[in-house]
Amino acid sequence: MSATVLKQATRGVFVTGTDTDVGKTVVSAILARAWGADYWKPFQTGLASASGDTETVASLLGLPLPGGGAAGEGGQCVHAPACLLQAALAPWAAARLEDVILDARRVRLPVTRMPLVVEGAGGLYVPIDEHTMMIDLAVHLALPVVLVARSTLGTINHTLLSLRALRSCGVPVLGVILNGPPSAGNCEAIERFGATRVIAQLAPMARVDASSVDKAASTIPGLDGLLAS
């Protein structure tokens, strides 16, 4: 995908994954720290059993929750989700249980002068409403994608399939982040056969906290350089 196409998008990224629980939330916090970016998760499910990714990212970045006080240094903040759902299911399924009508086509990016990291829910083909999958939301929001993948066995297949799906929909791919024990072989295969770059290989954290996020953020290339290359 050409740099020209990437430059036409809003200055930010849409973070998605090859699957659920591949580390999108922690990676989103790392990217937000590295780039001084705002964070936004439009569709949050699972609040009946967990506090939610917005709260997690706010804590890791040392930022107030939406409506909870002044923004961070330079104006960085976390934005409130467009929709909050209780069940730990895809938005489409959770909304049906809670009699909530979702329409992803009405979702709009929050207004900000900062770069923006948007986190999707689950993988690309997680349904949001009766007509829309997460990949359709990526198209709608017109942001280049950072794809988070496991670094371990099986990741080549899952990652290449996800890259092909994104490109079939015309979504620009900024790159892949491999999460887990470093694997030079998997990294090489994804870059070669996926025709994309691996932005970073993030080793497992002994403890997920602000300090470890800061350390990982120091390994991430600058956003403007990635958009321009």
User: Given a cut of 70, is residue 94 above it in pLDDT?
Assistant: yes
- CB under 8 A, 24+ apart: contacts of 164-170: 165/124, 165/125, 165/135, 166/124, 166/135, 166/138, 167/1, 169/135, 169/136, 169/138, 169/139, 170/139
**7, 24, 41, 215: which is the annotated catalytic residue?**
41
Name the residue with tokens 């730990």: 88
Does the annotation mark 215 as catalytic? Answer: no
Confidence class for position 73, pLDDT limits 50, 70, 90: low
Confidence class for position 4, pLDDT limits 50, 70, 90: very low
Exposure string of 59-98, with b = 16+ CB inside 10 Å and e = fewer, is bbbebebbeeeeebeeebbbbbbbbbbebebbbbebbbee
Global pTM reads 0.92
What is the chain's length? 229
User: Given a cut of 90, is residue 1 above it in pLDDT?
Assistant: no
**Distance in angstroms (rounded) separating the CA atoms of residues 91 and 85:** 7
